[in-house]
Structure 1
Amino acid sequence: MATTTDPTAEAGAVSVVPSRFPYRTIAMGTIGSTLLMLAALGAGGILIRDPVLGHGPLSFIRYGHGKALATALLYFGFGLVVWAWVRLGRYVLDGRVGARPVLIAAACWMGPLLVSPPLFTRDVFSYLGQGAQLLYGMDPYATGPAELNVLPDVVLNVHQLWQDTPAPYGPLFLLVSKWVVGLTGNNMILGVILTRLVIMVGLAGVLWSLPRLVKHLGGKLPVTLWLAVASPMTVIHLVGGPHNDLLMLGFLTTGVLAMLDRRPVLSVVLVTVGMLIKPTAAVALPFLVWMWAAQLPSGGRVKRFFRAVLPALGVFVPVFVVGTWVSLGSMNIGWFTGMSAPQLIANWLNFPTGIGEIVYTMVHIMVDVPPSPFVTVFRTLAWVVLAAFVVRQWWLSRDGGNQAVLRAAAALLAVAILAPPTLPWYLTWGFVLASAFPWERKHLAGVVGVSVFLVLVYYPTGEQALYDWWFIGGVLAVSVYAAASLLKPDPLGLIEAWRKPASRNG
């Protein structure tokens, strides 16, 4: 049994209280995660043709009342995971548990989801479809998986929006998807599981680098792991999804750590590899140049900058060229135009799109006009604001060090919020880096609310729920309650009110 100082003790007094391993909290989250996995068989991103539950007595879970029951069970499981995460967060912030219980909790909560159908997304089916294109000699950056005349289940399960849409991912990830499809073929269940296992390599990178980043950036390791690894954003979105952002984050965090450890060449190599998985890792590269320049022994700032940027380019260019060539068999840079494909998604979760829709709604009351010009105008303005913000953050990073890391995290968050589209898991780009810095409890409460909100704004099937206003009202209420629960257990006294009648009846 470990001991720790009681944070509620009066100033100047030291009280040592016992701190138990949080078995019940971890068990609660594990039960919730298991329910998520089981309920996802009927309410998650299920297969169009399911070889396991498509026929037979258990197929009822995919239709009608059976699906409604599965959906209710899934949200109940999600509630248990969030409840356990918030409880664990209170223990961490009160100094009652260390890093090890947080890691054990995260592992227990992720375990059932390794074999789950996709949760709150169908992106993994697109990964497999694009990998199949590459496997059969097609160009995923020219057209979508619909061109395939083989592997019918792979093609059938790609979301309709992405059937004819070029891939927006880096060539190295397409190579990974090609290998997965080469092993699993038309077996979608094995394809999803193997993709998830490959993406977990990114989690290993994050777990290796975060303790070392904390030493550089001044955070507290249990808080960092609770925020970046055990949160629903990672457990449910990145692992349960699954999403290739987790693989990219492994290279991004290890690359930033390498720069802080004064290994600049390795740093640029790692972050460039991350970019070849998901292009947004490139946002961090200019910040690494300032960090490299700050580590040089002599010369003015401008001289040191050029002494850093030239070798940085000398590392970046060959890694980029070789990585692209090895992945695609040619110097195909069509993935730059492919990055525009996700902009087809238009909803108010992306801040400028939301502003454009609000203005359109106000104007449409008086004049019958189409919505697209309003969204386009505000998206264009947002690009200008985003460019100005990122450049300013980069310029303020010119002294390198920890400030450059913090501002790189801010730039990644800005890209996720202002560049269309904003998908919920995109905010992990900046959160994971920022998690290694010191945090105040009230700010962490805000992160709790945002995390819960960003999971629930999509239905478990992967379709967005953003215009179901009654549902979104409930999501907002749940998110605020979860945030308040980090600051105070049972903030509305609901559990206490339930216990009182029970005690009177007893």
Structure 2
Amino acid sequence: MIAITSPRATLVAGAVASVTVAVSVTLAGPIPGVILPDGPLGLWRAADTGRPAWSVLAIVAITGLSLAFVRLYLLARDGVVDVRWVARTAAAWTAPVLLAQPILSLDAYSYVAQGQLLNVGIDPYLTGPIVFGAGPLLDPVAPVWRMTPAPYGPLSLRLLGWSADVTDAEPVPFVLLLRVLAIVAVLIATIAAVRLARPDARAATVALVAANPIVVLHLVGGVHLDVLVGALAPVVLLAVRRRWWSLAALAAAIAFALKLPGLVLVGYVLWARFRQPDRRLAGTARVLAVTVAVTLVAAAAVPDGWGWIAALDTPGKVDALYTVPAALAAVVYAGTALTTDFGALLDGSRLVCAAAGAVLIGWLLVRGGHPSAPVRRAGALVGAALVVLALAAPVIHAWYLAWALALLAACAGLAGQRGLIALSVALCFTALPDPLTRWHHGLLPLTLVLLVVALLVTFRWLSSVHAPSPRHHDVTSAML
């Protein structure tokens, strides 16, 4: 293995990779048809030439950060570094993206426009940013989302409206404000995950959450609302563990009012309370009452509080070939000797995956809510249910892993943590600068090669067994 017992080298390598990603993604520029703001001190301007080269540098750096993350996890798992060292490393890796443009996604600009739609009295659940016309609100939004309604819950929309109001709908301060909220959410998720984790696994848990490239690049760097659901998930589990049922119902209902995955948490809390023998019906009714009350209050926070239900199909309007439904449709399509319409197969595959996913999620929640299930086993099962929801969906993005990240980091065993790491690394290759994802640029083969290399190295490192020596602890203590 490559110097896997060098904490300082791991910290520096990840920090260099993070800086390189932030710079190269910025210089690689956005997709065609998008005009981004210059950003603070002009730091968000794309390069005039050489954008494919900057894209190549970006994916090399993403690969480097992903492998540095694996190394950091191994150092923490084997007791070479402690929680403080891992936290400092995560901070060093996150710092380079704090003033960068939204990394590898334009969703933050959709957030600005949707928040401003709400503020000017236009229903974001019925129309898209296109109503603003060409200008600073529409130009940075991805063309595919300019005419689509918002698929987020009423609390998300209210948060976006408040943020747009505070920042006068200026994209740069808006992005920086949401980034601060994302950092707070990551801190909450990390602290809650540490409280759930075994004492000897806390350093590894911090590595899996705070230093995860999904968190660094997408939740903080990319500024996605999914981080809020991810922060509430371990809070729900902790509340259930302590039998604080009203708090658990409150947190779960808030998560649902933010984004649909919160419904999994609502189902878990209701079932866990129902399975408790003491005052079963009365207790469950109280939890249900809190859930309904929070949901109704959230729906009243915006003029069309239930409009988001009809807009939930918005993300699925983009066809992504790396999803589970698309892969299943492709297998069937290849087996039918190209005589079947692929679009029809894809629609059928999505229905099958949705139905199978619903059944599997229900089974996981039933097991997780059993009174005899230890808290970490329950957390692993609920986290798995959230992963199933992401995988069964018509489209999956890297930041969807946020829903389950803290739960799985704290509660999964070594095998589960390895799966979480592999999924984190793989999903890092699903959001890249445009030239890396199109055949006509000639760079897609490079993306696939680096993905395979990253996964092979990851599995090789994770399969290793390393016994820390006292010397390793002494070196780490000296560095601290």
- TM-score tier, shorter chain, comes to 0.7 to 0.9
Corresponding position of 1:320: 295
Query: SS where residue 139 of structure 2 aligns?
Result: helix
Residue 85 in 1 paired to residue 69 in 2? yes
Conserved in 2, the CA contact under 8 Å of 1:457 and 1:475? no
Distance 1:51 1:157 in 2: 7
Conserved in 2, the CA contact under 8 Å of 1:99 and 1:225? yes
Corresponding position of 1:22: 7
Query: SS where residue 98 of structure 2 aligns?
Result: helix
For residues 372-405 of structure 1, give each alpha carbon's deviation from its aligned partner in whole angstroms, at most 9, with x where no partner exists. Answer: 1111111111122112212222333342342433
Conserved in 2, the CA contact under 8 Å of 1:121 and 1:460? no
Q: How does 1:282-431 map to 2 (within 5 A)?
A: 282-297=263-278, 304=280, 306-326=281-301, 328=302, 330=303, 332-363=305-336, 365=338, 367=339, 369-400=340-371, 401=373, 402=375, 403-431=377-405
How many angstroms does 1:487 deviate by?
A: 3.7
How many angstroms does 1:482 deviate by?
A: 2.8
For residues 132-173 of structure 1, give each alpha carbon's deviation from its aligned partner in whole angstroms, at most 9, with x where no partner exists. Answer: 111111111111111125x82121111111111111111111
Distance 2:307 2:158 in 1: 15
Out of 97, 109, 124, the position equivalent to 2:93 is 109
How many angstroms does 1:81 deviate by?
A: 2.1
Conserved in 1, the CA contact under 8 Å of 2:25 and 2:433? yes
Residue 204 in 1 paired to residue 187 in 2? yes
Residue 139 in 1 paired to residue 139 in 2? no
How many angstroms does 1:102 deviate by?
A: 1.1
Q: Which letter maps to 2:291?
A: F
**Alpha carbons of structure 1 residues 226 and 28: separation in structure 2 relative to 1, 3 Å:** same
Residue 245 in 1 paired to residue 231 in 2? no
Distance 1:462 1:126 in 2: 22
Corresponding position of 1:280: 261
Distance 1:432 1:349 in 2: 24
Query: SS where residue 157 of structure 1 aligns?
Result: coil
Q: 4+ residue runs of structure 1 moved beyond 4 angstroms?
A: 44-47, 53-59, 461-467
Query: SS where residue 136 of structure 2 aligns?
Result: helix
Distance 1:340 1:52 in 2: 33
Distance 1:185 1:97 in 2: 44
How many angstroms does 1:51 deviate by?
A: 5.0
**Alpha carbons of structure 1 residues 121 and 361: separation in structure 2 relative to 1, 3 Å:** farther
**Alpha carbons of structure 1 residues 81 and 398: separation in structure 2 relative to 1, 3 Å:** closer
Identity of aligned residues (%): 24
How many angstroms does 1:314 deviate by?
A: 0.6
Query: SS where residue 153 of structure 1 aligns?
Result: coil
Calculate the aligned-residue CA RMSD, in Å: 3.0
Distance 1:142 1:269 in 2: 28
Q: Which letter maps to 1:162?
A: W
Question: How many pairs were matched up?
Answer: 455
Corresponding position of 2:165: 182
Q: Which letter maps to 2:271?
A: W
Distance 2:229 2:313 in 1: 19
Conserved in 2, the CA contact under 8 Å of 1:412 and 1:429? yes
Corresponding position of 1:301: none
Corresponding position of 1:479: 455
- Structure 2 residue ranges without an equivalent (≥5): 466-480
Distance 1:92 1:44 in 2: 36
If the length of structure 1 is used for normalisation, what is the TM-score? Answer: 0.82
Distance 2:53 2:297 in 1: 51
Larger Cα-atom Rg: 1
Q: Answer with 286-295 or 339-348: which moved more.
A: 286-295
If the length of structure 2 is used for normalisation, what is the TM-score? Answer: 0.86
Q: Which letter maps to 2:297?
A: V
Distance 1:104 1:319 in 2: 37
Conserved in 2, the CA contact under 8 Å of 1:44 and 1:117? no
**Alpha carbons of structure 1 residues 108 and 364: separation in structure 2 relative to 1, 3 Å:** same
How many angstroms does 1:364 deviate by?
A: 5.7
Distance 2:296 2:42 in 1: 51
For residues 302-355 of structure 1, give each alpha carbon's deviation from its aligned partner in whole angstroms, at most 9, with x where no partner exists. Answer: xx2x333311111011111112212x1x36201111111111122232212221
Work out which structure has the larger RCO, using CA pairs closer than 8 Å and 6 or more positions apart in sequence.
2
Q: How does 1:92-131 map to 2 (within 5 A)?
A: 92-131=76-115
